[in-house]
Amino acid sequence: MSDANHTPADGSGPEHKTSNFLRAIIERDLEQGSHASRRWAGTPGDGAHHAAGDPDPAKIRTRFPPEPNGYLHVGHAKSICLNFGLARDYGGVCHMRFDDTNPEKEEKEYVDSILDAVQWLGFGWDSSFGGKTESHLYYASDYFDFMYRAAEALVQAGLAYVDEQTPEQMRANRGDFTTPGTDSPFRSRTPAENLARFREMRDGQHADGAMVLRAKIDMASPNINLRDPAIYRIRRATHHNTGDRWCIYPMYTFAHPIEDALENITHSICTLEFEDQRPFYDWLLDKLAELRLLARPLPRQYEFARLNLTYVITSKRKLAQLVNDGHVSGWDDPRMPTIVGLRRRGYTPESIQLFAERIGVTKADSWIDYSTLEIALRDDLESKAHRGMAVLDPVKLVLTNWDEVMGAGHLEPCALPALPHVAEGQTPPPAREFTIGREVWIEREDFAEVPPKGYKRLFPGNKVRLKGGFVVECTGCEKDAEGRVTAVLATVVPDTKSGTPGADAVKVKAAITWVGVADGVAAEVRLYDRLFSDAHPDAGGRDFKASLNLDSCRVITAYVEPSLAQAAPDQKFQFERHGYFVADRQDHAPGRPVFNRITGLKDSWGK
Ligand code: ATP
Ligand code: MG
């Protein structure tokens, strides 16, 4: 990011950031040295492993722990900016961890796309302290051995038991918010019996679902999550990393705190739905520390409100449905709120960082208006995107006196700056060059045979400037049998070319955008709109597909000036008066331009 106005996304330190409750917690912890005694052995591991290491050079450790079962979306972007951003700002590191403890769902395609998305957003998982570089890319499935060991330790300590009740019995005996649970008949087995049973589970002697290992806490706890939660289940499934080595797998609520502890995480930041799990998180880690498997101080969990964005769905499962049912062209369809979709649409990493910084973090659920994302995009591109002229709804303007005044077939060279403002000390980019001749494309709406009140553009007898070109005076139009205008007629006023001494001799009230017929290039322009017409497409369990906006992609043929036709794929522009556009990263080729509209110049949704 080059512009000093954008310091919030610059990452130059906490002093530039708006404070929030997480920053306050971290600053308090740093001040009190809450995590200062931790040691780090260079790789994840148990208490003994880290005890043999040096004092942890990372002041804090956070993590971003996606399950590799889909493409990341804008909600994950918030979590990425938060976790990686906090680590960067406070002299820490953020671990990139795949939470792949569930054997059924993970796929390599998703792992690759997730790594790519995090890096594209501007973050990485390497740390460098005292000249020593470490990579912090981890897979939770690498911790299965420790998780099993931890489970056995709990069994031996009388803190876990094998329950052979049916799932229905277990559910019935769990109780509810008003009724305490009932102890399982298997709850009073001895540690030796439980250990033997648990090993049988591991050794494949029991059928899937026949029994589970449960933590032994309190069946009457007011927090239902503490009523002896299941921690291991039998599931015969081939895991992408460990293959068929295991037929038992840890439950998420058991695995996650352990992953954090093995990685020396200090602040484990998650969304609010895990708030009720925090007591178990603390119980488990505390017990494993008492059993000397983990070292204190232990990681702490903090919850924040997930991102809810209007007109957008942020559930991997529902997004997959849009892809699979063909409502969009793929995960990277420019209308998708996935990071690959936003990228293809033309969103920049800086604009997404800026968005994440502006929405902040809170502990209360709320909806963020979609326009907040668009505003961040405009604020990022305003100073960076080169300008260009494009005519989206073209009609020909014929300068009937051109050959006579300028010479038959003459093309007059014109130029306009690529950027209207350049920061001090910065070299302006080369000007855009194009030509004007007898015929140019203009927007159909820039001509009115009978002008409405206050209309300043082309109507018979009125003069306007063709931006960067000449002043022209409208003389009329040609129409087809249906009365539709097929050409607008005007005369060029000689010696009024922009940038020449005569330019101001004739006063006009309007300057309109245009593209020369001789050097303009036809371009496919995809005018995207929101995918849903309802601000809360899936609220209250509604069928989100019912509010799909059927007009969310309109493809038109426009004319663009030569500089735009030569764009590199993924290059962003401001089409003067129309908004921000990007050369599509898949389909655009110089000379055969394809542009996506990212967003208009100002918020026009619903107006
Ligand atoms: P989904 O329900 O779409 O599958 P998830 O929460 O299950 O999403 P994970 O892969 O488990 O997806 O998420 C990785 C991280 O991203 C988690 O720490 C989670 O809290 C965070 N995250 C997911 N969705 C959001 C959101 N909408 N806002 C903020 N953080 C989110
Ligand atoms: Mg999940």
pLDDT in tens, 78-101: 999 999 999 999 999 999 999 999
Count of CB atoms situated within 10 Å of the CB of 59: 18
Confidence of residue 604 (pLDDT cuts 50, 70, 90): low
Cβ–ligand 1 contact at 271 (below 6 Å):
yes
pLDDT in tens, 422-470: 988 999 999 999 999 999 999 999 999 999 999 999 999 999 999 999 9
Residue type present at position 70 = G
Residue 141 φ then ψ, to 5°:
-65, -20
In this prediction, residues 356-376 reach a mean pLDDT of: 95
Residue 166: CB partners within 8 Å, gap ≥ 6? none
In this prediction, residues 17-27 reach a mean pLDDT of: 93
User: pTM of the entire structure?
Assistant: 0.93
Give the Cα separation of 367 and 370 in Å (integer): 9
Residue 478 φ then ψ, to 5°:
-115, 145
Cβ–ligand 1 contact at 95 (below 6 Å):
no
38, 56 Cβ separation under 8 angstroms: yes
143, 259 Cβ separation under 8 angstroms: yes
Task: Name the token pair of 182.
Answer: 């009932």
> How far, in Å, is the centroid of ligand 1 from the Cα of 598?
25
Confidence of residue 105 (pLDDT cuts 50, 70, 90): confident
147, 99 Cβ separation under 8 angstroms: no
Cα angle 71-72-76, degrees, rounded to a multiple of 5: 165
DSSP string, 262-330: HTT-SEEEEEGGGGGGHHHHHHHHHHHHHTTSSPSSPPEEEEEPPP-BTT----HHHHHHHHHTTSSSS
Say whether pLDDT at 8 is over 50: no
What's the pLDDT score for residue 602?
Answer: 83
Confidence of residue 9 (pLDDT cuts 50, 70, 90): very low
Query: What is the number of H-type helices and E-type strands within the chain?
Result: 15, 29
What is the phi-psi region of residue 306: left when phi exceeds 0, alpha when psi lies from -120 to 50, beta otherwise? beta
Could you tell me which residues are annotated as the binding site for ATP? Answer: 67-69, 271, 306-307
What's the pLDDT score for residue 468?
Answer: 97
Residue type present at position 34 = S
Residue 202 annotated to the active site: no
* Helix, strand, coil % in the chain, rounded to nearest 5: 30, 25, 45
- Helices 349-359 and 74-89: crossing angle in degrees, nearest 10, is 80
What's the pLDDT score for residue 252?
Answer: 97
Residue 598 φ then ψ, to 5°:
-85, -55
In this prediction, residues 214-241 reach a mean pLDDT of: 97
Q: DSSP state, 580?
A: E
Peptide bond into 297 cis (omega under 30): yes
Comparing 11 with 308, the larger pLDDT belongs to 308
Task: Name the token pair of 418.
Answer: 């690529």
What's the pLDDT score for residue 590?
Answer: 85
Domains and CATH numbers, the chain: 4-144+251-308 (3.40.50.620), 145-250 (3.90.800.10), 316-381+523-560+567-599 (1.10.1160.10), 395-517 (2.40.240.10)
Which atom of ligand 1 is the closest one to the Cα of 318?
3
Residue 482: CB partners within 8 Å, gap ≥ 6? none
580, 603 Cβ separation under 8 angstroms: no
Active-site pick, 233, 306, 545, 577: 306
What's the pLDDT score for residue 5?
Answer: 37
pLDDT in tens, 553-591: 999 999 999 999 999 999 999 999 999 999 999 999 988
E strand segments, 99-210? 126-129, 132-135, 137-139, 160-163
The residue whose C-alpha atom lies closest to atom 9 belonging to ligand 1 is 66
Residue written as token pair 């100073």: 383
Cβ–ligand 1 contact at 316 (below 6 Å):
yes
Say whether pLDDT at 170 is over 70: yes
Count of CB atoms situated within 10 Å of the CB of 568: 10
Cβ–ligand 1 contact at 114 (below 6 Å):
no
What's the pLDDT score for residue 1?
Answer: 35
Cβ–ligand 1 contact at 270 (below 6 Å):
yes
3-state helix/strand/coil string of 47-113? HHHHHCCEECCCCCEEEECCCCCCCCEHHHHHHHHHHHHHHHHCCCEEEEEECCCCCCCCCHHHHHH
Which atom of ligand 1 is the closest one to the Cα of 79?
30
> How far, in Å, is the centroid of ligand 1 from the Cα of 252?
14
Task: Name the token pair of 521.
Answer: 């290039």
Q: What's the chain's average pLDDT? A: 94
DSSP string, 355-386: HHHHH---SS---B-THHHHHHHHHHHTTTSE
Residue 526 annotated to the active site: no
362, 304 Cβ separation under 8 angstroms: yes
Distances (CA, A) of 561 to 56, 497, 583: 57, 18, 14
Of 1-10, 83-92, 216-225, 247-256, least confident by mean pLDDT is 1-10
The residue whose C-alpha atom lies closest to atom 7 belonging to ligand 1 is 67
How far from the centroid of its chain's Cα atoms is residue 175's Cα?
A: 40
Active-site pick, 17, 63, 214, 316: 316
Residue 233 annotated to the active site: no
What's the pLDDT score for residue 12?
Answer: 47
Q: Are strands 61-64 and 93-98 parallel, antiparallel or unpaired?
A: parallel
Residue written as token pair 């936003």: 342
